Structure 1
Amino acid sequence: MSKVLQKILKVKTTGKSFHNITYPIQDLVSESGVKIGLCTIFVRHTSASLVIQENADPDVLKDLANFFSQLVPEDGKSYIHNAEGDDDMPAHIRSALTRTSEQIPISEGKLVLGTWQGIYLWEHRQNPHHRQIVIHVSGN
């Protein structure tokens, strides 16, 4: 018989930063009782995104953030849309260049991530926000 669990994971961000959400998601997979299946993760915002990235060396995340800062500057004059400040449109662009959803296989009741992979919520705004991530687990 197929099992399904869907919950909202709430994350309070600290402004522009990465938040490792691997363990709370794995906890929900365990709670679901699914041994083999699929975990879908979806962030309900247009100025934050999800990335699967290295979880061993924090310099990887720093370099990624620095690269995106150069790629999508917050100079206050490059964009028309700035309803919520100079970081508003750059946050939307960064979200569009990354992902708002991920799908990860489940095997033996665990997320099938590589040795060095972690799941991160990437906050693209300068100020703290309350973010919602929908976690949908299905399988047997």
Structure 2
Amino acid sequence: MKIITKELIYKTKGDSEIIDLTLDLNKLLSESKLSDGNCTVFSVGSTGGITTLEYEPGLIKDIPEFLDKIIPKYDKYFHNETWGDGNGHSHIRSALFKTSLTIPFSKKLFFLGTWQQVVFIDFDNRPRTRRIIAQFIGD
């Protein structure tokens, strides 16, 4: 069994921008020389999320709009009083979405549905440089 850890870097805009990681993860899997195992995808930081969804224009608009309804940007958050950075909503969204996801693979292919992509969502209220870790464990 081998463990291979890779890092992906993305420049983001924030405000619930959604970035499709699937092609980059497929490339890393191909380069890994592993055939079967698991890949854990992890977002470094506390204001982003990793999930799967159908990466299409409608959902790219729907998700931020839905999040603004259930976790509004401009509500009162005690975090904002502590740090004054105005991103309390970002931390709550990240906690609900989680910062990691594990995807099994076999014969060098991820077990993903036809319309299922792995995405990073940047919930912060400003542009950032984001680190995404992909750790492959397998043979």
- Counterpart in 2 of 1:7? 6
- Counterpart in 1 of 2:97? 98
- Counterpart in 1 of 2:120? 121
Identical positions, percent: 32
- Counterpart in 2 of 1:64? 63
CA gap of 1:28–1:84, structure 2 versus 1, over 3 A, is: farther
Q: For the residues of structure 2 that align with 1:84 and 1:59, how far apart are their CA atoms? A: 33
Secondary structure at the counterpart of residue 116 of structure 1? coil
Within the candidate set 73, 77, 83, 1:79 is matched to 77
Q: How far 1:25 sits from its partner (Å)?
A: 1.0
Q: How far 1:84 sits from its partner (Å)?
A: 4.8
Give the total of aligned pairs: 136
How big is each residue's C-alpha offset from its partner over 1:51-86, in whole Å with a ceiling of 9 and x where there is no partner?
10012x3212311111111111122x5112222532
Paired residues of 1:38 and 1:104 also in contact (CA < 8 A) = yes
Q: Which runs of 5+ in 2 are unaligned?
A: none
Paired residues of 1:4 and 1:32 also in contact (CA < 8 A) = no
Q: For the residues of structure 2 that align with 1:84 and 1:63, how far apart are their CA atoms? A: 28
Q: For the residues of structure 1 that align with 2:137 and 2:73, how far apart are their CA atoms? A: 40
Give the letter aligned to residue 41 of structure 1.
V
- Counterpart in 2 of 1:47? 47
**Structure 1 ranges of 4+ moved more than 3 A:** none
Q: For the residues of structure 1 that align with 2:23 and 2:13, how far apart are their CA atoms? A: 19
Q: Please give the TM-score of this superposition, normalised by the length of structure 2.
A: 0.92
Q: For the residues of structure 2 that align with 1:85 and 1:4, how far apart are their CA atoms? A: 37
Q: Which runs of 5+ in 1 are unaligned?
A: none
Give the letter aligned to residue 98 of structure 1.
F
